[in-house]
Structure 1
Amino acid sequence: MKDITLGQGLDKVKFGLTRQEIIKLIGEPSEVEAMDGDKDSGAMEAWHFDELHLSLSFEEDCNWKLTSITTASPEILFEGIDLIGLSQGEVMEQMEVFNLGEFELEDLSTDVIPNQSLAANPDFSLNLFFDHDILTEIQWGPFWDDESEMPIWPEN
């Protein structure tokens, strides 16, 4: 597994797969983190695969299908390029080359974790997390149908 495809997934790990299908593809997770839902959304599970530097999220509202992938691995490539470890300026230059449009920048810094920021592009379901101006994580999901407010699952 090494190639990110926006709206699709990570190689054979496609958005819309069930938890059972993921286990068949890559095995059992190192850790499962369950999160209760609130009035706006249902419960969620985040599966962490520590050896792969990968987290997969499944949402109750989407019938427990894969809805998000997060990686911190420098071995996973975005359009053939290893972005993890690059500066925010270098990463944003690459995003311009890929014609991904505008990113919303947000400061996520806290007293406990200073100098954290997020560059989000909702049009492509893409989030880039920076720590001290260095890209540390890439998170992406399926494209969304704004009318139905549901994911557009890739064809498997």
Structure 2
Amino acid sequence: MKGLTLEIKPLEGFGELEFGSTPDEAIRYLGEPTEEEFIEEDDDFDESMIQYFDDHGISIFYEEVDGLFLSNVETENPETILFGAKVFELTIDEVINLMKENGYSDYEIEEIDLEDNEEEKGQWLIFDDALIDFLFEEGKLSNINWGAPLDDDDYYDDDED
């Protein structure tokens, strides 16, 4: 898409697409999704939906509370920008420094096994204050997932400061 801005905005959204947006707004911004997946309500989760935009390396997650609203974004697109930097080109230490420089310092690093191979290790770099997680596989950033601030009733809280 022309003019598509692949910029992560922690606690706000992705490019011009803000948390709280509808699936139709995402389609206007990103084009038709490759696939849409509806997840029925059960004991653990409310009804939700995922839109996959494979051409852009983006997945968008929606929660159902008085209508579907954009609650989470995931990307593996190497052109993605975070605070002016092409984030997929950064090391884990560089991402930590970038986040700290922009006011986010509440993080932890969680070691994980990749796939079924216990030999391959990965790391989740988790910033709770920004609601953003970075997955590093073999030292290289492979995936970023970030979400909307929600209030106690799981409504999008756009007053988060």
> Normalising to structure 1: TM-score of the pair?
0.84
1:110 deviation in Å? 4.4
Q: Give ranges in structure 2 of 5+ residues lacking alignment.
A: none
| Cα distance in 2 for residues equivalent to 1:67 and 1:129 | 19
| Cα distance in 2 for residues equivalent to 1:136 and 1:46 | 20
Indicate whether 1:130 and 2:136 are aligned: yes
| Cα distance in 2 for residues equivalent to 1:3 and 1:24 | 17
List aligned pairs for 1:105-120, cutoff 5 A: 105-110=109-114, 112=116, 114-120=120-126
List aligned pairs for 1:26-41, cutoff 5 A: 26-41=30-45
User: Could you tell which deviates more after superposition, 115-124 or 50-59?
Assistant: 115-124
The one-letter code of the counterpart of 1:138 is I
Identity, in percent, stands at: 24
Partner of 1:150: 155
The one-letter code of the counterpart of 1:19 is P
Count of residue pairs brought into register by the alignment = 153
C-alpha distance 111-9 of structure 1, shift in aligned 2 (>3 A): closer
C-alpha distance 32-108 of structure 1, shift in aligned 2 (>3 A): farther
C-alpha distance 58-149 of structure 1, shift in aligned 2 (>3 A): closer
The one-letter code of the counterpart of 1:47 is Q
2:59 to 55, 59, 64: 55
1:130 deviation in Å? 1.0
The one-letter code of the counterpart of 2:158 is W
List aligned pairs for 1:77-96, cutoff 5 A: 77-96=81-100
| Cα distance in 1 for residues equivalent to 2:65 and 2:147 | 15
C-alpha distance 110-101 of structure 1, shift in aligned 2 (>3 A): same
SS at match of 1:58: strand
| Cα distance in 2 for residues equivalent to 1:111 and 1:23 | 32
C-alpha distance 120-57 of structure 1, shift in aligned 2 (>3 A): same
What CA RMSD, in Å, does the superposition of the two structures yield over aligned residues?
2.1
Greater relative contact order, per chain length (Cα 8 Å cut-off, separation 6+):
1
SS at match of 1:117: strand
SS at match of 1:93: helix
Cα-to-partner distance string for 1:16-67 (whole Å, 9 max, x where unaligned): 1111222222221112233344313213222111111111011124631111
